[in-house]
A and B are shown apart, each in its own frame.
Chain A
Amino acid sequence: MEIDIPFEQEVANFYQSMGITAGPGDIQYRLILLVLAKNGEDKVTRFSEIREYTDKIADRGSIGSKLKAVFQLEGLAIKVGHGGYIITHKGLLAADFMKSTSDYYRKVKTVEKIIERIPA
Chain B
Amino acid sequence: MSFGLLLNAVVCFAIVLATSAFAVSLLHNKKNQKQESAPTINALIVFWSLVGAFFLFAGLRTLAAYGNFNDLERTLYYIGSIPFALVTVPLVYFIIYVILGDTRVSFGVSTVFFIFGGIYLIALFGFGVIGPSNSDWGSTFGVNSDIAINVYLSGLFIVPTSMILGLLLLILLQRIPKRLQNRIAFSLVAISLIFDFMLLDNIAPSGATQMAARIFIFIGVVLGFFVYFTPLSTERDIMENRFGLAQTELLDFEDDDE
Contacts and interface: CB of A to CB of B under 8 A. Distances in A.
A118 B98 CA distance: 6
Contacts of B170: 114
B28 interface: no
B120 interface: no
Contacts of A61: none
A116 B34 contact: yes
A1 interface: no
B176 interface: yes
Interface residues of B, number: 23
A120 B171 CA distance: 14
A111 B176 contact: yes
Interface string A46-74: 00000000000000000000000000000
A66 to B, nearest CB: 32
Interface stretch (B35-43, B135-143, B210-218, B244-252): B35-43
Interface in A86-120: 111, 113-120
A116 B36 contact: yes
B180 interface: yes
B107 to A, nearest CB: 15
A101 to B, nearest CB: 16
Interface string B36-73: 11011100100000000000000000000000000000
B41 A119 contact: yes
A117 B101 contact: yes
Given A120-B33, A120-B37, A115 B101 contact: no
B50 to A, nearest CB: 17
Contacts, number: 40
Nearest to B33: A119
Given A117-B40, A117-B98, A119-B40, A111 B174 contact: yes
Count class of interface residues, chain A: under 10
- Which one of A113, A115, A118 has the highest number of Cβ atoms from chain B below 10 Å of its Cβ? A118
A118 B34 CA distance: 9
Interface string B153-176: 000000000000000001100101
Contacts of B180: 115, 120
A81 to B, nearest CB: 47
Contacts of A115: 171, 176, 180, 184
B101 A119 contact: no
Contacts of B34: 116
Interface string B99-121: 10100000000000000000000
A119 to B, nearest CB: 5
Nearest to B170: A114
Interface string B130-155: 00000000000000000000000000
Given A111-B174, A111-B176, A113-B101, A118 B33 contact: no
B243 to A, nearest CB: 20
A114 B102 CA distance: 11
A42 to B, nearest CB: 40
Given A114-B98, A117-B98, 14 more contacts: A111-B176, A113-B36, A114-B99, A115-B171, A115-B176, A117-B36, A117-B37, A117-B39, A117-B40, A117-B101, A119-B40, A120-B33, A120-B37, A120-B180
Give the top 3 A-B pairs by smallest Cβ distance, nearest first.
A119-B37, A116-B36, A119-B41
Interface of A: 111, 113-120
7 contacts: A111-B176, A115-B180, A115-B184, A119-B33, A119-B228, A120-B33, A120-B37
